């Protein structure tokens, strides 16, 4: 699909998505953070949901998460601008500390993920990647459509998924979420190996003629 058509379709998608969530959560305004990057990239990264800094800048994976992502991209020898980066949930899931009134991140609820899935699939259908990298369990479960699947079992092992319907398939490459490495240092070497495997996989795509 032509780049300008993709950009137009993404703009329409954003407006429809905004209207959808404004209707559903009419008592609390949700600031939506959409995907960004090269809409023609054969590689798309899908995270869980934006955090505080992402919501302020209205860009995915900035601030601390962006630093983790930079290290990730360094290993893959890719620039952020060359790929497309998005999240399953487009708004920040947060909880309020009763005592201090401060907000902190929380994992998205099943309802939030279920409401977000169709929007992610439409976004991916427009971009049309060959490989989708899921970062963490939420993206893995949402993209595979399998609630029982666990990142610990399938990390680093690509498998085919349907994007939205049976007509369009892509390869899903599951990775641990970069943030989980901070809390579970024992995963660092596994994560590194998975990234090296992803690099080989991505290089193969380039050899097959898909520009990255
Ligand atoms: N920031 C994002 O945009 N997504 C995540 O999954 C984590 C941090």
Distance (Å, whole) CA 2 – CA 151: 35
**What confidence score (pLDDT) does residue 208 get?**
60
Band of residue 209 on the pLDDT scale cut at 50, 70, 90:
low
Residue 95 half-sphere exposure toward CB, CA atoms < 13 A: 8
Q: Is 42 in the pocket of ligand 1 (CB under 6 A)?
A: no
Structural domains of the chain sorted by starting position, each given as residue range(s) with its CATH number in brackets:
3-207 (3.40.470.10)
pLDDT digits (tens, 9 = 90+) for 29-79: 899 999 999 999 999 999 999 999 999 999 999 988 888 889 889 988 999
Which backbone phi and psi does 105 adopt, to 5 degrees? -70, 155
Six-digit token string for 173: 């490459």
pTM: 0.94
CA atoms within 13 A on the CB side of 91: 21
| CA-179 nearest atom, ligand 1 | 7
Task: Give residue 153 CA to ligand 1 midpoint distance, Å.
Answer: 22
pLDDT digits (tens, 9 = 90+) for 112-152: 999 999 999 999 999 999 999 999 999 999 999 999 999 99
At 128 the three-state DSSP class reads coil
CA–centroid distance, 51 to ligand 1, in Å, is 6
- Which two structure tokens, joined as six digits, stand for 127? 């971009």
Distance CA 1, CA 5 (A): 7
């Amino acid at each position: 699909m032509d780049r300008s058509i993709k950009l137009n379709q993404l703009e329409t998608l954003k407006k429809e998505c905004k209207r959808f969530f404004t209707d559903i959560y009419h008592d609390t305004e949700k600031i939506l953070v959409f995907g960004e990057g090269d809409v023609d990239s054969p590689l798309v990264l899908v995270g869980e949901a934006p955090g505080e800094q992402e919501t302020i800048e209205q860009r995915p994976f900035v601030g601390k998460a962006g630093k983790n992502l930079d290290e990730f991209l360094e290993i893959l020898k890719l620039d952020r601008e060359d790929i497309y980066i998005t999240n399953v949930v487009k708004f920040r899931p947060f909880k309020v500390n009763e005592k201090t009134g401060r907000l902190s991140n929380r994992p998205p609820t099943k309802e939030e993920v279920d409401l977000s899935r169709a929007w992610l699939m439409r976004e991916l259908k427009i971009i049309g990647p060959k490989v989708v990298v899921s970062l963490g369990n939420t993206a893995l479960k949402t993209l595979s459509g399998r609630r029982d699947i666990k990142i610990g079992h399938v990390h680093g092992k690509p498998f085919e998924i349907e994007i939205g319907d049976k007509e369009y398939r892509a390869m899903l490459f599951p990775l641990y979420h970069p943030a989980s490495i901070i809390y579970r240092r024992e995963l660092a070497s596994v994560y590194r190996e998975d990234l090296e495997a992803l690099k080989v996989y991505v290089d193969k795509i380039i050899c097959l003629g898909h520009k990255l």
